[in-house]
Amino acid sequence: MPFDALFNFPKFPKAKCAELDDLDFFFPDSQLQLENRWPRIVELCGSCIHQKECLDYAVENHIEDGVWAATTGDQRKLMTSKKEDRRNRRFREIQSLMTTGFSKEQVAAKLGIQIASVDRTLERAKRKGFLL
């Protein structure tokens, strides 16, 4: 996906937001301005073919400013923390099983996941500085 050179934002082909002349429309200055724009934002984002990619981009990059895919920064922050909680819980499950002597294969079978998922979880934990 190409990025806007000035702001490092992704450019989605045929995105509804690209049809607007005022790109600041999705970055209201106040809660009142957000409330006034909200019906139009919901309409635009709800009919956009890139809504999922837009939301994924904002959540994965921890973007707190502006409205992305008809979500506010506070809503996205909550999504990010829930996602992190699930990942941390899965890591703790894997860690607990492995410290009791289970192999990666046994852990995967017990949790009903692929061995590759165990590996990804362990690699992510290693990058974050968690120790087994």
Determine, yes or no, domain membership for 40.
yes
Run of H or E residues at 108: helix 104-111
Q: How many whole angstroms separate alpha carbon 52 and alpha carbon 23?
A: 19
Q: Which residues pair with 15 in a beta bridge?
A: none
For residues 91 and 65, membership in a common domain is answered with: no
Look at residue 3 and tell me whether its pLDDT is greater than 60. no
Q: How many whole angstroms separate alpha carbon 31 and alpha carbon 61?
A: 23
Determine, yes or no, domain membership for 2.
no
Average pLDDT over residues 94-104: 88
Determine, yes or no, domain membership for 124.
yes
Closest CA to 24 of 14, 33, 15, 32: 33
Q: Residue 130: its pLDDT value, please? A: 67
Number of domains in the chain: 2
Average pLDDT over residues 34-52: 93
Determine, yes or no, domain membership for 7.
no
Query: What integer best gives the mean pLDDT of the chain?
Result: 83
The pLDDT > 70 percentage for the chain reads 88
Q: pTM to 2 decimals?
A: 0.57
Determine, yes or no, domain membership for 5.
no
For residues 28 and 57, membership in a common domain is answered with: yes
Q: Residue 13: its pLDDT value, please? A: 74
Determine, yes or no, domain membership for 37.
yes
User: Which structural domain, as residue segments, surrounds residue 124?
Assistant: 84-128
70 and 35 Cβ atoms separated by less than 8 Å: no
Residue 63's identity, in one-letter code, is I
Look at residue 2 and tell me whether its pLDDT is greater than 50. no
The C-alpha torsion from 53 through 59 and 64 to 66, rounded to 10°, is 20
Average pLDDT over residues 74-95: 80
Determine, yes or no, domain membership for 3.
no
